[in-house]
Structure 1
Amino acid sequence: FGQPAAWPLMLSATGLTRMFHGSAEPAVARAAAAEGLPYCLSTMGTTRLEDLAAAVPAPLLFQIYVFRDRGLTREFVSRCREAGYAGLCLTVDTPVAGNRLRDRRSGLSLPPRLTARSLLDFALHPGWSIPALTGAKFDLANVSHRTDALATNPMSLFDFIGRQFDPGLTWRDVEWLASEWNGPLAIKGLMTPEDAARAVRSGASGVILSNHGGRQLDGAPAPIDQVAAVRDALGDGPDVICDGGIRRGSDIVKALALGATACSIGRPYLYGLAAAGEAGVARTLRILRDEFERTLALAGVPNIQSLERRHVRHRSRG
């Protein structure tokens, strides 16, 4: 999407990042910038987009929705433009929220509910709970100004966002957003060649193939299995990012060989963040980069431009 990257990886948007570590999104963005990689802030992030842009002088992307309230979407576009964000990533695979049983079983809420179970968890994990309870306010920082009910209803922001998801999203809405933004725009959550081609015709700079980490439609195919067909449909121009299931540097090599421009990760950097803050994210990225470079060398490939589909062999699906 026109953004420089030292190697073919970006850090995708993840919500509620402060839940993993008090240093939250700024720590992730700094680690990404130090590695020469782009970072995308989530609408559901816990740091204001303006604050992140001021703290990290590097090109940033912002993940956005076309909400029922188009005025809210237009507000985000304006804020991103004024803060100097380099591009937008429009998520389109959330017409409704997925049936996230783990979240329901754990009683996930914002801020966390003080139940007997959560209090026990806090007591058993002081390294997390003390900074979380004494640090910055935990909320959806980019939308909290839209409601004043958080103090009395811990689910109010979740409910507000849930009501804003628009199941009637159409390609005209994508064209509208592309016109409003008039800059690099990625469509995230597409999985078919037909939709990818339509996205580019509607004004997108490229697509992010994603099944939302299996948290929306759990039976959706793996994004890496869609890369080749989407690349064939789009030709050489538009960017194709493979998002989801990237756990090793060798996964990045495979995706690039099949036709991806780059890959993006979410869970891996969150694991690093939870373990050691910014240093943990940096360590995660170094591991992936080392594996990526080692895989290229062991495969006898001098550079990513030399990767071809013949370098990947699928297991028999019979």
Structure 2
Amino acid sequence: MQFKKPVLDGRRRRLDTALTIEDLRAIAKRRTPKAAFDYTDGSAEAEISLRRARQAFRDVEFHPSVLRDVSVVDTSRDVLGGPSALPFAIAPTGFTRMMQTEGEHAGAAAAHAAGIPFSLSTMGTASIEDVAAVSPTGRNWFQLYMWKDRERSMALVSRAAAAGFDTLLVTVDVPVAGARLRDKRNGMTIPPSLTPRTVIDAIPRPWWWFDFLTTEPLAFASLDRWSGTVAELLDTMFDPTVTFEDFAWIRDQWPGKIVAKGVQNVDDARRLTELGVDGIVLSNHGGRQLDRAPIPFHLLPEVVREVGSDTEVLLDTGIMSGADVVAAVALGARSTLVGRAYLYGLMAGGRQGVDRAITILGDEVRRTMRLLGVTSLDELTPDHVTQLERLRPVRRPSGGRI
């Protein structure tokens, strides 16, 4: 028996106790003011879409093979024309420095170190050029919302191309903003407003407020300042008139790989493939747009059968473990994107917290692969996964009632 050597670094000690993404979420909730945490953690209306997406991964049954040599496993693969050391990328997230002031700098640096892509949101709180400086040889992707001001939108696209970003993610599921009720109830504004409620909330979290108030003010990749609510900002940006023709026009302006993010049915996946996209992301925006939206993981096998030979299919929404990532890859996803999982790490411990989140997910991916008896991602097949049925669609007879 021996005494465990004490860890004097409080942040390191705190992160070392986190063995899962759920553990990071619990730390993040303790350390982050309610409005900022709820912006990350919440989704639209009754938050049914997010709960269903996470439950779909829990309802996976794996089918392992035994007596295989799994001493060495390879988690890498080419995704959208370039390498990725793990089958997940960091998803684009807005207002990131509000959650923890290292923001996108921490995410981009951690992704670069791990050899995975990093996605910068149109509403990111670091500029395109800053992310390129933090990760000059990393795989940087830029996520675009098509604004009502098209000229301003395409100026961002030009900046991303000039900065060496290799992939453009065009989000297609935001004609209007979803009803994010937690944010409305919290009265969340950008920047956060000091009200009696926020002052009370700050008392047990002085480190967050000191950090927030003594570092560079929030600024955005897309605009310099905003003094209204998040919902008002989104309504000025999202354009309900965007069509497939607009998407084709954007495709013609971009020199690199182009991906449609937010696809939620087979017909749209097919039509986008016919337009010549390099990839689609099956996503319901993390449950933050249409509540009761389709579950991306449930859509995955059918979409892969329909378009998987012609375009790369990626997936997000609901991923909270490396086992979730492996299940998605087994059913045909080329890769996945993680948003909240990365942000929980960021809120829990800045750059070190993001590193910890990536380490947790990567270790879970490798362990799950070994336990399944596979040594590379290409060995994963649908035979390794059964989606257990919890929600079964009711089929209406033609011309009749149920």
CA contact under 8 A between 2:116 and 2:139: conserved in structure 1?
A: no
Distance across 2 between alignment mates of 1:316 and 1:209: 20
The one of 230, 249, 252 equivalent to 2:322 is: 249
Cα displacement (A) at 1:161 = 4.2
- Cα deviations across residues 96-144 of structure 1 (Å, max 9, x unaligned)? 10011000011110011111011112222112110001111113x2222
> In structure 2, what is the equivalent of residue 50 of structure 1?
129
1:231 aligns with 2:311: no
CA contact under 8 A between 2:101 and 2:215: conserved in structure 1?
A: yes
> In structure 2, what is the equivalent of residue 114 of structure 1?
194
My pick for the range that moved more, 56-65 or 234-243, is: 234-243
Distance across 2 between alignment mates of 1:188 and 1:95: 13
Distance across 1 between alignment mates of 2:272 and 2:255: 15
Distance across 1 between alignment mates of 2:154 and 2:339: 26
> Which secondary structure state, in structure 1, belongs to the residue aligned with residue 83 of structure 2?
coil
> Which secondary structure state, in structure 2, belongs to the residue aligned with residue 159 of structure 1?
helix
CA contact under 8 A between 2:104 and 2:120: conserved in structure 1?
A: yes
- Cα deviations across residues 249-301 of structure 1 (Å, max 9, x unaligned)? 11111101111001110001100000111111111111111111111111112
> In structure 1, what is the equivalent of residue 289 of structure 2?
216
Query: Do the aligned partners of residues 222 and 122 (structure 1) sit closer, same or farther apart at CA in structure 2, a change above 3 Å counting?
Result: same
> In structure 2, what is the equivalent of residue 85 of structure 1?
165
Pairs within 5 Å for 1:27-42:
27-42=106-121
- Cα deviations across residues 132-176 of structure 1 (Å, max 9, x unaligned)? 01111113x22224x6xx4xxx21786354223111111100100
Distance across 1 between alignment mates of 2:178 and 2:230: 17
Report the TM-score when normalising by structure 1. Answer: 0.94
CA contact under 8 A between 1:90 and 1:187: conserved in structure 2?
A: yes
> In structure 1, what is the equivalent of residue 149 of structure 2?
69
CA contact under 8 A between 2:177 and 2:231: conserved in structure 1?
A: no
> Which secondary structure state, in structure 2, belongs to the residue aligned with residue 240 of structure 1?
strand
Structure 2 gaps, min length 5: 1-79, 393-402
Distance across 1 between alignment mates of 2:183 and 2:229: 16
Pairs within 5 Å for 1:126-145:
126-139=206-219, 141-145=220-224
Pairs within 5 Å for 1:14-33:
14-33=93-112
Distance across 2 between alignment mates of 1:239 and 1:91: 16
1:302 aligns with 2:382: no
**Amino acid aligned to 1:104:** K
Identity between Structure 1 and Structure 2 (%): 41
> In structure 1, what is the equivalent of residue 71 of structure 2?
none
CA contact under 8 A between 1:3 and 1:38: conserved in structure 2?
A: no
Distance across 2 between alignment mates of 1:248 and 1:175: 35
CA contact under 8 A between 2:189 and 2:230: conserved in structure 1?
A: no
Higher relative contact order (CA 8 A, sep 6+): 2
> In structure 1, what is the equivalent of residue 264 of structure 2?
191
Cα displacement (A) at 1:66 = 1.8
Larger Rg: 2
Q: Give the root-mean-square deviation of aligned CA atoms.
A: 1.5
The one of 246, 250, 253 equivalent to 1:173 is: 246
Cα displacement (A) at 1:4 = 1.4
> In structure 1, what is the equivalent of residue 15 of structure 2?
none
**Amino acid aligned to 2:85:** A
Query: Do the aligned partners of residues 252 and 164 (structure 1) sit closer, same or farther apart at CA in structure 2, a change above 3 Å counting?
Result: same
Distance across 2 between alignment mates of 1:126 and 1:278: 20
Query: Which 4+ stretches in 1 moved above 2 angstroms?
Result: 156-161
CA contact under 8 A between 2:273 and 2:310: conserved in structure 1?
A: no
> Which secondary structure state, in structure 1, belongs to the residue aligned with residue 386 of structure 2?
coil
> Which secondary structure state, in structure 1, belongs to the residue aligned with residue 82 of structure 2?
coil
Distance across 2 between alignment mates of 1:32 and 1:124: 31
Equivalenced residues, count:
311
Distance across 2 between alignment mates of 1:27 and 1:11: 11
- Cα deviations across residues 74-117 of structure 1 (Å, max 9, x unaligned)? 11111111111111100011101001100001111001111101
Cα displacement (A) at 1:307 = 1.1
CA contact under 8 A between 2:319 and 2:325: conserved in structure 1?
A: yes
The one of 83, 87, 92 equivalent to 1:4 is: 83
**Amino acid aligned to 2:163:** A
Distance across 2 between alignment mates of 1:160 and 1:245: 26
